[in-house]
Structure 1
Amino acid sequence: MNLFNKVKESIKKYNLLAKGDKVIVSVSGGPDSLTLLHILWRLQSDFNLGLHVFHLDHMFRGEESKADAEYVAEFSEELGIPVTIKEYDVPGYIKKRGLSKQAAARKIRYELCTELANKVQADKIAIGQHADDQAETVLMNFLRGSGLEGLGGIEPIRDEMFIRPLLEVWRSDIEDYCQEYNFRPRIDSSNLKPIYRRNKIRLELLPYLADEFNGSIKENLNRMANILRVENSFLNEYTIEKYKKIVVSYDKDELLLDLGSLSNLELAIRRRVIRQAIGDFCGGKRDYYFHHVKQIEELITDGETGKRLQLPEGLRIERSYNALRFFWQGTNSLKSHRFVQVYSIPGQYKVEELGIKVDLEIIPKDDNWQEKLRNSNELYLDYELIGNEFKIRNRRDGDRFQPLGMKGNKKIKDFLIDEKVPRRMRDQIPILSTVSDEIFAVGKLRINDKFKITDYTERILTLDINKAEEGGSN
């Protein structure tokens, strides 16, 4: 099977592209990214793709970097694809933040690429990592002592946005493709020197292991990564189920976990729940390692009430009588204005925290339901998709839902801005969700498109929300 068909097979296997996707393609000018761009260009008509090239000049190599940018612009223009070229003083950023060259470059590249994707409303960001990169990553993570997540290597798709269509093809196949189409890829000379850890693994360690121990070492590392990713995915889903049950409250300033429930978890799952909490609260796990998890674990099992940990980036963790508290340096008191309550359906409820009354009824779906909806101030939802319990809370940072009539998800913060809800009133808008925390309505402003009435709906949940002083349903 040739490279083009292998890539098509990977796209289908991992569902990397959908019809009509708008895709940002990260292009450095090297063989991998040129091949990726050219293949996606050839697939444009198959998927009705809208392509947009992104290139970052990291300002590491002076005139060479500028020549890379000019080449990417010319290559993209020949294919008729719009291109965005950005410059960023990564060397200056490294001095300020103390990161490695590769880590800093990756961080800035991803941030600017995501910024462009948001600006042009792209659905995906395509990256040119391939099977050799996967082998190098898995081996490098093994040398670091990583767990399953690290040994699972690079994911074909991450966060439903970052896609890697070349992940199951080899560097040699990509070089052959470039020769076949007479590309003149740019070569970063620093990649040919064993001066970075990844380069040493690529240029020295992997060839040594292949010569002395196993000629199929790269294939075996890729196969192992595929096996471990599947198992890690299952464990992640199980962990999230447990994690949701022990979260007492959560916002950008504070996360509270039920200490008793956390203590009763099996050690392997407790460690994963700790990492999940760090990831949620800190927006990532990059600066937190196993020894930090161990410290938190010891605080849970052996710590005294009131004991506090000081972790990197200003993260603080405190043990109380019945909760484990994550907060930021400078946050002194527990938050009292965040809340969540569970209610049964049907019913009438007064939510004192928000000064509202909520009325929920279940009615059969008949032929006149659309006319009833037009003549009502109530929201109509598919009851079976919600069930007999639901939650009411106020909003949290990062909340998303799919507004009725829209194709994709939207941050509730952005939705409320678009709806011209004054800033001072946004935290008073009730957020209604299923017990599994999927938001189905943002006050009376809009329901989630996933919970709308369809031909398959059997019973309708009517929802009415009024100020408490105005009484119940109309």
Structure 2
Amino acid sequence: MNKIPCPNGYRQMELLPRVSDFIVRHRMVEQGVKVLAAVSGGPDSVAMLHILNLLKDDLGISLHVAHLNHRFRGAESDEDARFVTGLAGRYQLPCTVEALDVTAYQKRKNLSKQVAAREVRYRFLLDTAALAGARRIALAHQADDQAETILINFLRGAGVPGLKGIVPVRENLYIRPLLTVRRFEIERYCREQDLPFRQDSSNLEQIYLRNRIRQDLVPVLEKGYNPALVPALLRLGEICREEDAFLEDASVKAYQESLLEESTEKVVLGLERLGRHPAALRRRILRLAWQSLARSSRNLAYSHTETLMDLVGESPAGSRAVLPGNIAARRTYETLEIILGQGRPKIPYYIYPLNIPGATFIPEIGRTVHAVIKPRVAAGDPRLLPREEALLDLDRLPSRIFVRRRREGDIFHPFGHVAGGKLKDFLIKQKIPQEERDKIPLVSTPGEIIWAGGVRTGEGFKIKDTTGQVLHLKLDP
């Protein structure tokens, strides 16, 4: 555990009012909401938990602590977990601590260490929030993290959306109360409040770009170019956030002005109307058209956006482009048509008995569901399985199980959710494109969906401590 002295001559401003004002200004929480605090044990998350615990009565919130042991650093990681458990105990807060083999997940998914850790960590936080009934997840990103993110995005050639950096509130779920607080202020706060914390040795490893920027580039820029680099980058991020919000509002209006036709399968934009708008808005209009069909909030990549810009520029009528999400664009003499599905035939309805144990081939989608019965002790941790696999409580399953295509009005109660709802709404929230939804095989009883293949298992058939045998399902290819 570490305590870091404050910089000489630094006068600490009171953090509690600043953080409280920041939370209120960005409407991070409401009265009565439960907040899941993600605590690694480092100074940032320790300070965040301490501050939120002091503010919880004034804000009208309750707290639940969450810590994921990634098992990257052996005994050091185990000690982090014990430290966070003890910290939550001292505050008399409920706490969920899990240990997952992220290295195994990384190798199985062929991901980088950082990407694998991020995917497992966010899945853990989402699942824990659902089980705890938390409607917000507090993350301890601070001002220096923000400055480093903006620098990273600048070096990668990002536009305004990238230069705005980390947003204070994302998806009305993730909140970052310390985003305007400097790292040295947090260290000073921990010192003055006598808060012990853990130090992650991987933060010193030079193999990671963020660490090199923090340890090498930022000090060089501060010493030789701008001593107030971090505040300058924070101003840049704030300006870009405001301008991005303005441009987004303007682009929505411009999109409606350029729109000739819009359905779930096609968007048609008028070239003459589109040409009335400057290039900065045209790019955003084209991204909005793609997002409308892809049912996605993510941005279309720069290369694909520029391909569309070329189509509406000097390309002849009949020119085409292929876009992500099974979407194509075609220029006519007067319009740009963006089409979902590229004319592929729809998948007909099917239903087959599921072979248990055995394999069930589905010719309509060209995939196979494999079913194997295993004792619980040999099945492993279901949270570490890829999405193409699932473990279910065999003892609670009926004898008649089928695999079928979705139907209009299907109801699904996903794992981790308090209640069920329309399968269509769930798939939309999972950002699964419309053209992909009929390709999802549904393993079902006569009246209930057990597993939306490759997406999520049902809540009613999850593995429990009392489970004896499990049904291991795997979707190929």
Scaled to the shorter chain, the TM-score interval is 0.5 to 0.7
Identity over aligned pairs, percent:
37
Could you say if the C-alpha distance between residues 306 and 57 of structure 1 is closer, same or farther in structure 2, counting changes exceeding 3 Å? Answer: farther
What's 1:20 paired with?
A: 32
CA contact (8 A) 1:316 1:326 kept: yes
Separation of aligned partners in 1, 2:307 and 2:409: 28
Change in CA separation of 1:255 and 1:102 when aligned onto 2, cut-off 3 Å: farther
Structure 1 residues 102 and 332, CA gap change in structure 2 (3 angstroms): same
Q: 2:135: which partner in 1? A: 123
Give the equivalent residue in structure 2 for 1:208: 220
Q: TM-score, normalised by structure 1?
A: 0.64
Partner of 2:190 in structure 1? 178
Report the Cα distance in structure 2 between the residues aligned to 1:65 and 1:278, rounded to whole angstroms: 43
> Which sections of structure 1, spanning at least 5 residues, go unmatched?
336-394, 398-409, 418-474
1:327 is the counterpart of 2:303 = no
Work out the CA distance in 1 between the residues paired with 2:317 and 2:123. 40
SS at match of 1:61: coil
**Cα distance in 1 for residues equivalent to 2:316 and 2:100:** 47
Give distance in 1, aligned partners of 2:147 and 2:119: 21
Give the C-alpha shift of residue 90 in structure 1: 3.0
The secondary structure found in structure 2 opposite 1:43 is helix
Structure-2 separation of matches of 1:311 and 1:12: 41
SS at match of 1:7: helix
Change (3 A) 1:300 1:2: same
In structure 2, relative to structure 1, the CA distance for the partners of 1:24 and 1:64 (3 Å cut) is: same
> What residue number does 1:285 align with?
298
Could you say what secondary structure the match of 1:195 adopts?
Answer: coil
The 1:206–1:303 alpha-carbon spacing in structure 2 relative to 1, beyond 3 Å, is same
Relative to 1, partners in 2 of residues 1:32 and 1:249: Cα closer, same or farther, differing over 3 Å? same
Indicate yes or no: 2:242 matched with 1:226: no
Q: Which structure 2 residues correspond to residues 39-438 of structure 1 after superposition, within 5 A?
A: 39-244=51-256, 246=259, 248-251=261-264, 254-260=265-271, 261-262=273-274, 264-279=276-291, 281=294, 283-285=296-298, 288-303=300-315, 307-311=319-323, 315-319=326-330, 321=332, 322-327=335-340, 332-333=344-345
AA aligned opposite 1:324: E
Cα 1:119–1:277 change in 2 (3 A) is: farther
> One-letter code of the match for 2:178?
L
Rounded Cα–Cα distance in structure 2 between residues aligned with 1:310 and 1:328: 11
The amino acid across from 1:327 in the alignment is L
Counterpart residue type for residue 299 of structure 1: L
- The root-mean-square deviation of aligned C-alpha atoms, in Å, is 3.2
Q: Which amino acid is the alignment partner of residue 209 of structure 2?
A: R
**Does the CA contact (< 8 Å) of 1:247 and 1:255 recur in 2?**
no
Cα deviation, residue 177, structure 1? 1.8
Q: TM-score scaled by structure 2?
A: 0.64
Distance 1:247 1:84 in 2: 51
Amino acid across the alignment from 2:255: Y
Gaps of 5+ in 2: 1-12, 348-407, 411-419, 428-477
Deviations 1:147-187 (Å, cap 9, x if unpaired)? 11111111112222221110111111111222233333221
Residue of structure 1 in register with 2:432 after alignment = none
The structural deviation recorded for 1:326 is: 4.6
Structure with larger RCO (C-alpha < 8 A, sep 6+): 2
Q: CA, structure 1 residues 237+120, in 2 after alignment: closer, same or farther (shift >3 Å)?
A: farther
Give me the whole-angstrom Cα distance separating, in 2, the residues matched to 1:46 and 1:241.
40
Q: Following the alignment from structure 1 to structure 2, what is the Cα–Cα distance between the partners of residues 112 and 78? A: 23
Q: Distance in 2 between matches of 1:130 and 1:70?
A: 24
Q: Secondary structure at the match of 1:271?
A: helix
Note the C-alpha offset of 1:32. Answer: 0.7
Q: Is the 8 A contact 1:36 1:166 kept in 2?
A: yes
Contact 1:250 1:396 survives alignment (8 Å): no
Q: Shift in Å at residue 285 of structure 1?
A: 2.8
Q: 1:310 to 1:157 in 2, by over 3 A?
A: same
For 1:450-461, what aligned pairs fall within 5 Å after superposition?
none
Aligned to 1:4: 16
